[in-house]
Amino acid sequence: MEESQRRLLQIHRLKLVTDLQPEPLYSRLLAKGIFTKDMIEEVQNSGTRRNQARELITDLQTRGTRAFPAFLESLRETGQHNLADLLGKGLSFQPSSSISVKPVVPVEGFRPAQQDRPTAVSVQCTDPDLLGPRKPTNKAQKYDTVYRMEASPRGCCLIINNVDFHPNSHLKPRMGSDVDCESVQNLFEKLCFKIIVRKNLTKQLMLEELRSLAQKNHAHFDCCVVVILSHGNQAPHRQFPGAIYGVDGTPPIPVQHIVSHLDGSHCPTLREKPKIFFIQACGGEQKDTGFHTAEEVDSAPDKSPETTSLQTDATPYRAEDEPDAVSSLPTTSDILVSYSTFPGYVSWRDKKEGSWYIKTLVRVFSEFAHSEDLQTLLTRVTRNISENEEAIGVYKQIPGSFNFLRKHLYFS
């Protein structure tokens, strides 16, 4: 979608949320290929008509170049001509660039009046309300480049731990995930977060928990963290790829929709505050065997993952989960999504010790979070996992992140 079209939807957002009738639009937007059936269901599950309208307008801006004209056409097909005309007129309006401006001709002998300068007087004032604007202190200047992290607690940390999947889902139990859950809970408790743990949630319950988190008042918090431990699969998206399963095994939730619950449109009290997502799930079914560095070629042992206690969080790729998605909403600022593995690849988990990603993340954060910013910490995690000596000769894994933060983030 073009930026001018997104601006129109934002300008008329209140009118659209107030008057839009989304229900008749669903079948038409589905037939036009703008949304998938799963995405329509998620919009319908968002609640009241106003909430559905709000969700529809937000999701529409993340779709392809055909989204806006298809939306206008669908509005007219369903008799919502007032909204179609409103958006159509705004799209066709172009400000004129042919305005003539007469040059200002100076008048001979005229001089602009000079402002009288007050005489400097030495006055001592102890009332802060009378002191006027003050120069920013070092602390105030610091917050130009560093997020404020002084609230106690710093914010909420929601942990969704999906371990036991329904038999008809054909998804294996995620043995070792409880170890991950406990260790990450202990970590963020030490980092002064308010912990919310939810276990074995269906897709619908996951969405409800995310909506509940978004509806909280975060005004007195400085940050929000979401940790998801579950099965996942590949779902292409230019902004936040991947999708996460609930324990019922129904079509997974695209990470894009998970993240959108806390963006600037859906959670106003978290605007300009960091929203951090840690996702331990597979991004696909590919297994990375890595490559040997020069000094390892002759010494690497011949191991097989079948002889270890390793498992993956992979599930078959379903291409229809998220087609033709495009990126970029201004509301995604101050968001970072950290993935346990590269999109398209499996993520390894030990049945007894937990996943490589969470185990390493907790260890690195526990050791360095008091002095290093989040991006540096994640770089350490990536390096440690990618160079995991225990995995030489078996399979490799490399985490990564999609970073839309505007400042440095220090947990301490």
- Region of residue 10 (phi > 0: left; psi between -120 and 50: alpha; otherwise: beta): alpha
Q: Are residues 176 and 260 in the same domain?
A: yes
| β-strands 310-312, 275-280 pairing | unpaired
Q: Cα(386)–Cα(396) distance, rounded to whole angstroms? A: 6
Does a structural domain hold residue 173? yes
What the block records as the tokens of 409 is 């983030």
Q: Are residues 55 and 203 in the same domain?
A: no
Other Cβ atoms less than 10 A from the Cβ of 406: the count is: 12
3-state secondary structure of 265: coil
Average pLDDT over residues 398-407: 91
CATH number for the domain harbouring residue 72: 1.10.533.10
Contact 361, 186 (CB under 8 A): no
Q: Cα(290)–Cα(300) distance, rounded to whole angstroms? A: 12
Q: Cα(381)–Cα(371) distance, rounded to whole angstroms? A: 15
Q: Torsion angle of alpha carbons 13, 40, 323, 1, nearest 10°? A: -10
Q: Are residues 84 and 184 in the same domain?
A: no
Contact 295, 169 (CB under 8 A): no
Question: Which residue range forms the structural domain that includes residue 49?
Answer: 3-89
Does a structural domain hold residue 232? yes
What the block records as the tokens of 274 is 């960091």
Q: Which DSSP letter does residue 294 get? A: G
Q: Higher model confidence: residue 353 or residue 130?
A: 353
What the block records as the tokens of 251 is 């079509």
pLDDT tens, position by position, 175-203: 999 999 999 999 999 999 999 999 999 99
Amino acid at 382: T
Distances (CA, A) of 317 to 153, 174, 232, 236, 324: 39, 18, 9, 10, 16
What's the confidence (pLDDT) of residue 224?
98
Phi, psi of 401 (to 5 degrees): -145, 155
Does a structural domain hold residue 284? yes
Select from 233, 148, 185 the least CA-distant residue to 410.
148
Q: Are residues 84 and 161 in the same domain?
A: no
pLDDT tens, position by position, 36-75: 887 888 788 877 888 888 888 888 887 778 889 999 999 9
Does a structural domain hold residue 123? no
Instruction: Work out how many domains the chain is built from and give that number.
Output: 2
Q: Cα(171)–Cα(231) distance, rounded to whole angstroms? A: 8
Q: Are residues 78 and 181 in the same domain?
A: no
Does a structural domain hold residue 353? yes
Q: Which of 43, 70, 89 is the last residue of a domain?
A: 89
Does a structural domain hold residue 376? yes
Contact 176, 353 (CB under 8 A): yes
pLDDT at 81 over 60: yes
Q: Which of 21-35, 334-348, 387-401 has the lowest mean pLDDT?
A: 387-401
What pTM, to 2 d.p., does this model score?
A: 0.60
Q: Are residues 368 and 250 in the same domain?
A: yes
Contact 131, 125 (CB under 8 A): yes
Beta bridge partners of 70: none
Q: Are residues 224 and 310 in the same domain?
A: yes
Q: Higher model confidence: residue 131 or residue 302?
A: 302
Select from 405, 174, 390, 185 the least CA-distant residue to 280.
174
Q: Which of 313-317, 351-355, 382-386 has the lowest mean pLDDT?
A: 313-317
Strand order in the sheet with 223-229: 194-199, 155-161, 223-229, 275-280, 335-339, 400-403
Phi, psi of 120 (to 5 degrees): -70, 130
Contact 340, 355 (CB under 8 A): yes
Other Cβ atoms less than 10 A from the Cβ of 279: the count is: 29
Give residue for tokens 């560095």. 293
For helices 81-92 and 67-77, give the axis angle rounded to 10 degrees.
140
Does a structural domain hold residue 226? yes
Q: Which of 41, 65, 89 is the last residue of a domain?
A: 89
pLDDT tens, position by position, 313-338: 544 433 332 222 333 334 578 999 99
Query: Mean pLDDT of all residues in the chain?
Result: 78
DSSP-based helix, strand, coil % in the chain, nearest 5: 35, 15, 50
pLDDT at 128 over 80: no
Q: Which of 42, 73, 89 is the last residue of a domain?
A: 89
Question: Which are the catalytic amino acids?
Answer: 231, 282
Q: Are residues 42 and 159 in the same domain?
A: no
Q: Are residues 173 and 84 in the same domain?
A: no
H or E segment and range at residue 183? helix 177-190
Does a structural domain hold residue 50? yes
> CA Rg, the chain, in Å?
26
Identify the band that residue 103 occupies on the pLDDT scale cut at 50, 70 and 90: very low
Contact 183, 362 (CB under 8 A): yes
Q: Are residues 190 and 71 in the same domain?
A: no
Other Cβ atoms less than 10 A from the Cβ of 231: the count is: 25
Phi, psi of 243 (to 5 degrees): -150, 150
